[in-house]
């Protein structure tokens, strides 16, 4: 493969092009809504979840081109969750990725509706003719179920609720683990699982990709918590120290920085072990996993 | 058929039982979220959309029993839209159906997340094994697409955006029509369409049910606007005169009460005409259509 940097850049470019194609156009009615949807989608994300989905499809020998719409769908879900998370009633963040958050630009009402629209749009994409022409309806329903479960009350939303109600509380490690595994790992796990499903992986391969995604997603959130303590606000494009300010339940708060770093590394290694039968085609996934715990942004 | 009252009561009971079964149980983790989801779902709705879906399935000779999960899914979408619509940043309503709104009881953050969870849950239901065992994956994907499109940026959310940005504006009839057809008619149209699809209707029958749902949904919203002017707050269980207070774009505001009433009646009649080939099995749909424009709640 290319260097990881070149690989990530190439996949990111493909995702940007596909997102532009799969989101409602700016000139479509009603005014304001499409702008708000696009504003947050194109506010400069790393496209980690779509890239993992494409890499997962390729890791089982699949063609990642027809997977691009589903990669856009997962980015829509991720973006909606950030728009709602940043709202004044939630984390009340004014900046994300160095840019004003959605409600700062468009107001709270449109921010809520743009989030709702992006979540809904994900399921429109997953049932669109472009996908139904290319994949069996059975597989697409599995994909839809996988994403809905990961995003729902027993997945991401459950994690966000526990994250919020744990603010200012003394919590033990099991609560922090619940938050990480649901708020973040669930959707990353869905990314690699869906990649495996649409890439035509065997049930065993899809299971391995699911486990890989879960461990790596969990390691990603621990690293996020560490960066909130140690990171550079300019590099990260958002305020640091917000977790401590909100008295959030985080790994560093419960275990300390050193043990948190160690836990993230262990999870990443466990994740990579899941792919031991995958051969060279899984090299991008392995390198992304290693990058996730060593990144500074 | 029974009297309309008995028919509606019977279908409502079936929907209540199914909703109880299809929503996450109260004792499931995380605490608070499931309560908030269930609170608004069981806050006493008429279950119009689920009932129309069941009646539509029966109108094409289908068994409505396996349609119940999809009927729950559309009620989840409807309930989410009301929770978000009532938020302080949106219409800022403290009461709905005679009860405090979701954010009044659970706070804004949980209300936003409970709405998100209900929307997501709809798509979990539509791809659940209970449905995939009973219907073809092709039909279920059509159902999922129909609901997502009706609920999304070119459907319900689009209508809500225009509703909101039109507050305090001088608007012409075309804008009010856009609001009604998208904010309300889209989801009611999806109810009858999905009923036709899952009931095994022919493409012509499904098209007729789609058109019926659209006209009747539109008539429903005009009637809602009229009741906001003329209705009784105690009967309606919510404040009246809110549209005028918020200077909303409504039919009575643009056309006057008498012309609005006439328009609702015409739409209802057009809707019923769509079903002229359906025979007696469509009698409940016809009677519900007539009820929609004559109701006082």
Interval A29-60: pLDDT, tens = 998 999 999 999 999 889 999 999 999 999 99
How close does chain A come to B33, measured CA to CA in Å? 7
pLDDT of residue B233 exceeding 80:
no
* Partner-chain residue, chosen from A80, A124, A147, that has the shortest CB–CB distance to B145: A124
Lowest mean pLDDT among A188-192, A243-247, B71-75, B170-174: A243-247
How close does chain A come to B171, measured CA to CA in Å? 14
- For residues B41-50, average pLDDT: 94
> For residue B37, what is the nearest residue in chain A, using CA coordinates?
A153
Predicted confidence at residue B160, as pLDDT, reads: 96
* Partner-chain residue, chosen from A113, A115, A145, that has the shortest CB–CB distance to B161: A113
Q: Kindly report the CATH class assigned to B4-294.
A: mainly alpha
> For residue A34, what is the nearest residue in chain B, using CA coordinates?
B153
Predicted confidence at residue A21, as pLDDT, reads: 97
Cis peptide before A30 (omega within 30 of 0): yes
Q: Is B130 on the interface with A (CB under 8 A)?
A: no
Residues 29-58 of B with CB under 8 A from A: 29-34, 37
Contact B161 A137 (CB under 8 A): no
> For residue B131, what is the nearest residue in chain A, using CA coordinates?
A141
Counting Cα atoms < 13 Å in the Cβ hemisphere of A252 gives 19
User: What is the β-pairing status of strands A95-96 and B99-100?
Assistant: unpaired
Chain B residues in contact with A79 (beta carbon < 8 A)? none
The contacts of residue B47 (CB under 8 Å, 6+ apart) are: B11, B12, B15, B16, B75
Chain A residues in contact with B119 (beta carbon < 8 A)? 116, 119-120
Predicted confidence at residue A1, as pLDDT, reads: 63
Q: Is B132 on the interface with A (CB under 8 A)?
A: yes
Counting Cα atoms < 13 Å in the Cβ hemisphere of B9 gives 6
CA A216 – CA A219 distance, rounded (Å)? 5
The contacts of residue B197 (CB under 8 Å, 6+ apart) are: B139, B142, B143, B146, B206
Contact A24 B154 (CB under 8 A): yes
Q: Is B248 on the interface with A (CB under 8 A)?
A: no
Predicted confidence at residue A248, as pLDDT, reads: 85
Chain B residues in contact with A120 (beta carbon < 8 A)? 119, 148, 151-153, 157
Q: Is A202 on the interface with B (CB under 8 A)?
A: no
Task: Write out the H or E segment, with its range, that includes residue A74.
Answer: helix A68-86
* Partner-chain residue, chosen from A113, A140, A162, that has the shortest CB–CB distance to B141: A140
- For residues B38-59, average pLDDT: 96
> Is the predicted ipTM greater than 0.90, yes or no?
yes
Q: Is B126 on the interface with A (CB under 8 A)?
A: yes
Residues 5-24 of A with CB under 8 A from B: 24
What are the E-state strand segments in B44-170? 95-96, 99-100
Size of interface A-B (CB pairs under 8 A): 158
Predicted confidence at residue B108, as pLDDT, reads: 97
Q: Is B109 on the interface with A (CB under 8 A)?
A: yes
Predicted confidence at residue B123, as pLDDT, reads: 98
The contacts of residue B293 (CB under 8 Å, 6+ apart) are: B219, B220, B222, B223, B261, B264, B265, B267, B268
Q: Is A141 on the interface with B (CB under 8 A)?
A: yes
Q: Is B144 on the interface with A (CB under 8 A)?
A: yes
Nearest Cα to Cα of residue A110 among B221, B195, B32, B161:
B161
Chain A residues in contact with B92 (beta carbon < 8 A)? none
Contact A30 B121 (CB under 8 A): no
Predicted confidence at residue B241, as pLDDT, reads: 81
Q: Is A197 on the interface with B (CB under 8 A)?
A: no
How close does chain A come to B182, measured CA to CA in Å? 11
The CA-based diameter of chain A, rounded to the nearest angstrom, is: 52
Chain A residues in contact with B69 (beta carbon < 8 A)? none
* pLDDT, chain B, mean: 94
pLDDT of residue B232 exceeding 80:
no
The full length of chain B comes to 297
Low-confidence spans in chain A with pLDDT less than 70: 1, 234, 236, 297
Predicted confidence at residue B1, as pLDDT, reads: 63
- pTM for the structure as a whole: 0.96
Contact B153 A123 (CB under 8 A): no
Predicted confidence at residue A240, as pLDDT, reads: 75
* Partner-chain residue, chosen from B34, B112, B158, that has the shortest CB–CB distance to A33: B158
Chain B residues in contact with A87 (beta carbon < 8 A)? 109, 112
Q: How large is the angle between the packed helices B108-126 and A156-165, nearest 10 degrees?
A: 160
Q: Is A119 on the interface with B (CB under 8 A)?
A: yes
A140, A132 in Cβ contact below 8 A?
yes
Q: Is A152 on the interface with B (CB under 8 A)?
A: yes
Chain B residues in contact with A116 (beta carbon < 8 A)? 80, 84, 115-116, 119, 157
pLDDT of residue B238 exceeding 90:
no
How close does chain B come to A60, measured CA to CA in Å? 24
B289, B269 in Cβ contact below 8 A?
no
Enumerate the domain spans of chain B: 4-294
* Preferred mutation among A82, A89, A163 to probe B, highest tally of B CBs within 10 A: A89
DSSP-derived letter for residue A286 is H
Q: Is B246 on the interface with A (CB under 8 A)?
A: no
Give the SS3 label for residue A90: coil
């Amino acid at each position: 493969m290319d260097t990881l940097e070149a690989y990530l850049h190439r996949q990111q470019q493909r995702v940007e092009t596909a997102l532009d194609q799969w989101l409602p156009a700016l000139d479509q009615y009603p005014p304001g809504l499409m702008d708000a949807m696009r504003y947050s989608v194109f506010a400069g994300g790393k496209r980690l979840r779509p890239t993992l989905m494409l890499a997962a499809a390729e890791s089982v020998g699949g063609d990642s081109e027809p997977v691009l719409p589903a990669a856009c769908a997962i980015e829509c879900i991720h973006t909606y969750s950030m728009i709602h998370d940043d709202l004044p009633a939630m984390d009340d963040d004014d900046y994300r990725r160095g840019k004003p958050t959605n409600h700062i630009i468009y107001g709270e009402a449109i921010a809520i509706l743009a989030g709702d629209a992006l979540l809904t749009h994900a399921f429109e994409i997953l049932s669109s003719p472009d996908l139904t022409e290319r994949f069996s309806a059975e597989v697409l329903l599995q994909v839809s179920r996988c994403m809905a479960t990961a995003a729902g009350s027993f997945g991401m939303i459950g994690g966000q609720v526990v994250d919020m109600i744990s603010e200012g509380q003394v919590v033990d490690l099991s609560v922090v683990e619940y938050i990480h595994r649901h708020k973040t790992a669930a959707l990353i796990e869905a990314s690699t699982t869906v990649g495996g499903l649409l890439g035509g992986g065997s049930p065993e391969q899809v299971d391995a990709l699911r486990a890989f995604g879960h461990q790596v997603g969990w390691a990603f959130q621990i690293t996020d918590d560490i960066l909130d303590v140690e990171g550079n606000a300019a590099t990260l494009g958002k305020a640091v120290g917000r977790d401590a300010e909100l008295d959030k339940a985080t790994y560093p708060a419960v275990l300390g920085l050193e043990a948190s770093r160690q836990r993230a590394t262990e999870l990443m290694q466990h994740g990579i072990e899941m792919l031991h039968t995958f051969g060279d085609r899984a090299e991008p996934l392995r390198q992304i996993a290693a990058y996730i715990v060593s990144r500074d942004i």
